[in-house]
Amino acid sequence: VSQMAFADVDPPAETGLVIMNPPYGLRVAGRPPAVFRHIGGVLRDRWKGWRVGVLLPGPRHAGALGFKHEMVASFENGGIPVVFVVGDIPA
């Protein structure tokens, strides 16, 4: 186990499943779209062919990921309304 920025993580296989609970809410107040654009860019550049699930602070941020997705759940996480979206990173 090691701690590093997501952009520095190498995919461990050709394809697979990435599940993410990235920072949102008070941890990145005022910057969420930029955070999700960055995550989407890393996924599209380095994780091609992978299936992805991402916890987001609302459906309005899903478009910032930059890939097709579907919302599969909506609930509260620590009192913050969130959605869980899934999608495939094109190969």
Encode pLDDT of 53-91 as tens digits.
999 988 888 888 999 999 999 999 888 889 999 999 998
Between 80 and 25, the more confident residue is 80
Share of the chain above pLDDT 70, in %: 91
Q: Look up residue 54 and give its two tokens.
A: 């991402």
Q: What is the overall mean pLDDT for the chain? A: 88
Q: How many Å separate Cα 10 from the centre of its chain? A: 16
Counts for the chain of helices (H) and strands (E), in that order: 1, 4
Q: What is the average per-residue pLDDT within 15-40?
A: 80
Minimal CA–CA distance to 53: which of 81, 75, 31, 83? 83
Mean pLDDT over 24-51 rounds to 82
Residue 28 confidence class, pLDDT cut points 50, 70, 90: low
pTM of this structure = 0.83
- Residues 29-65 as b or e (16 or more Cβ within 10 Å = b): eeebeebbebbbeebeeebeebebbbbbbeeebbebb
Distance CA 34, CA 53 (A): 18
